[in-house]
Structure 1
Amino acid sequence: MSSSVMETAAATSTETVSRLMVTVRDSEARRYRPVGFLTYSGDGFSFAYLRREIEREGFRPLPGLARATEGPMHSATLFPLFAERVISSRRPDRQTSLDALGLPADAAPFEVLVRSHGQRVGDTIELLPAPVASPGDVVSFTFLAHGVRHLPEAHQARITELGVGEPLLLRAEMDNPVNPRAQLVTDTDAITLGWLPDPLIDVVQALSGCELAVERANGPEVGFHFRLLARIRGQLSTGQPLFAGSDWETVERAAD
């Protein structure tokens, strides 16, 4: 990344995420696909389906969000489907989990979802950042590396050794049997540390001058999903906003 991009990034807030991609794991394709957006506006939340999702053969609405097939749903509080994915204050490991994500004890529910991806054990739903560009077209967001449980023990141990701010790399894995566009997350010695979540590949490829670094690296005391939190910063290079185009069109309510 150029020095000007770094300076602009440093001048902006640590997150440029007020919207999350709601993704669902496709059992046949064995990959997560986006189905809609959860947006936080400061005074409430909204959820909207992608039009292509509700037009897909075999579409089934998410629990509690059937009405969104007719247009965005709005709520002053988090929809139950997503609220139950916030790390509960009743969990004895809550503080350990928040520490692993670099969050304070009083982190707001949406902040927790941004960092944690809202995953639950055995679940097929994951919430991923849908960032917008800050002034200067700088994009900055965090993501949790996928697939850590499938790595050799030596690679998992390498994650534990990483320091905050240590540079990381993305490397194409064209022979990946599930997704030929897959992107490996590695250290500078090319040791594989996980994978970039598939729905974020298009986001990253829309950026130039990208820098990837460790935001948080954790040991085996936390679950595999929380082992490596990385931050990516880059500059929007397409001349268009992220998530533009027909593939990202959401269902809007018809005018009365």
Structure 2
Amino acid sequence: MPSVLEDMAADAVTATELLVVWQQPSSRAMIPVGVLAFDGRLYTFEYLPNVAEIDEFRPLLGFRDFTVTYESDELFPLFHERVLDPTRPDFTRVLDDLKIDPASATPWEQLVRSGGSSEGDTLQVTPLPREEAGGGWTCTALVAGVRYLARKSIATADGVTRIYTADELESLLDRLSAGQVLRVVAEVGNEYNSEAQVLFTEQQEPVGYLPDWLAKLTAPCLTNGSTLHAVIDRVNDTSAGWHLRVLVTLHADEPFDQLRDRINSTTRSA
């Protein structure tokens, strides 16, 4: 199955909406709070419904009014500062890891592909899940928690994984390839996130976690009969940070309208 990034033409990248996700300090939960968009000419930002009711959330810098749709001819400063500086020594390598041509990359394309954040950041952006032709929805994401496979075992309904040594973890990642299908399995007994989901190969090897914000959206798919799987887009080597090691495209066959309703409801339940 072709991935979103392989099929995404320049115009499609330009039109992509980005979901803005914020980390709640007390719970560390990643909660969708707004949508950043670009139509090729105008940038817009607007908050999701009921965002003012989220505990501990305060207006983002430059976006004080929860009810306004903000517009700009240039990328808003809050998000522009998350774009890589071309003078950075690792600029070319990082963009190559993200499958972006450094010679022509735009700030918007960088945000679409990278999320504009580093590990530990409290704010990130990610391509908003979109409807697939023929039904269902898809979403591209960077796999989270890859490094934890060398620190902890993971319990699922299928059993408990072992802890990998550093060399074994690299060997596992070396065996992954673009186009490979991964299973999405709920973790059991995760005290931090009861909806945590792990990506597994067909050989029952864990690859890492779905980002928490995405796991919150996909959790119902694991119990309502929807089909859910991920396809690897790219596997980067050790020169990439842990949060850039594996890029996947998630596919779900549930109606897209149900997913959009769920995104909006996350602000009411947070």
Bucket of the pairwise TM-score, normalised by the shorter protein:
0.7 to 0.9
Residue 99 of structure 1 aligns to a residue in which SS?
Answer: helix
1:21 aligns with 2:19: yes
1:71 aligns with 2:68: yes
Partner of 2:113: 115
The number of residue pairs the alignment matches comes to 243
Cα distance in 2 for residues equivalent to 1:212 and 1:144: 11
Asked whether the equivalents of residues 209 and 234 of structure 1 are also in contact (C-alpha less than 8 Å), the reply is: yes
Cα distance in 2 for residues equivalent to 1:240 and 1:41: 22
Cα distance in 2 for residues equivalent to 1:11 and 1:29: 36
Residue 131 of structure 2 aligns to a residue in which SS?
Answer: coil
Cα distance in 1 for residues equivalent to 2:202 and 2:144: 18
Cα distance in 2 for residues equivalent to 1:45 and 1:147: 32
RMSD (Å), alpha carbons: 2.9
Shift of 1:203: 4.2
1:124 aligns with 2:142: no
Shift of 1:140: 3.2
- CA change 1:227–1:41 in 2 (3 A) is same
State the AA in 1 paired with 2:115.
H
Cα distance in 2 for residues equivalent to 1:175 and 1:122: 23
1:155 aligns with 2:169: yes
Report matched runs for 1:72-221 at 5 Å.
Answer: 72-105=69-102, 106-120=104-118, 122-152=120-150, 153=166, 154-204=168-218, 205=220, 208-221=226-239
- CA change 1:27–1:10 in 2 (3 A) is closer
Partner of 1:226: 244
State the AA in 1 paired with 2:78.
L
- CA change 1:199–1:249 in 2 (3 A) is closer
Residue 69 of structure 1 aligns to a residue in which SS?
Answer: coil
Of 255, 261, 264, 1:238 maps to 255
Q: TM-score, normalised by structure 1?
A: 0.82
Report matched runs for 1:55-70 at 5 Å.
Answer: 55-66=53-64, 68-70=65-67
Shift of 1:182: 0.8
Residue 51 of structure 1 aligns to a residue in which SS?
Answer: coil
Partner of 2:155: none
Cα distance in 2 for residues equivalent to 1:218 and 1:12: 20
Shift of 1:13: 3.9
Please list every run of 5 or more consecutive structure 2 residues that lacks an aligned counterpart in the other structure.
151-165
Cα distance in 1 for residues equivalent to 2:6 and 2:27: 40
Structure 1, residues 218-237: CA drift from partner, whole Å, max 9, x if none? 121111110111122343x2
- CA change 1:135–1:161 in 2 (3 A) is closer
Asked whether the equivalents of residues 47 and 72 of structure 1 are also in contact (C-alpha less than 8 Å), the reply is: yes
Higher relative contact order (CA 8 A, sep 6+): 1
Asked whether the equivalents of residues 148 and 156 of structure 1 are also in contact (C-alpha less than 8 Å), the reply is: no
Cα distance in 1 for residues equivalent to 2:135 and 2:8: 13
Asked whether the equivalents of residues 50 and 248 of structure 1 are also in contact (C-alpha less than 8 Å), the reply is: no
- CA change 1:21–1:62 in 2 (3 A) is same
Asked whether the equivalents of residues 132 and 242 of structure 1 are also in contact (C-alpha less than 8 Å), the reply is: no
Cα distance in 2 for residues equivalent to 1:249 and 1:147: 24
- CA change 1:218–1:125 in 2 (3 A) is same
Cα distance in 2 for residues equivalent to 1:238 and 1:157: 38
Cα distance in 2 for residues equivalent to 1:217 and 1:84: 26
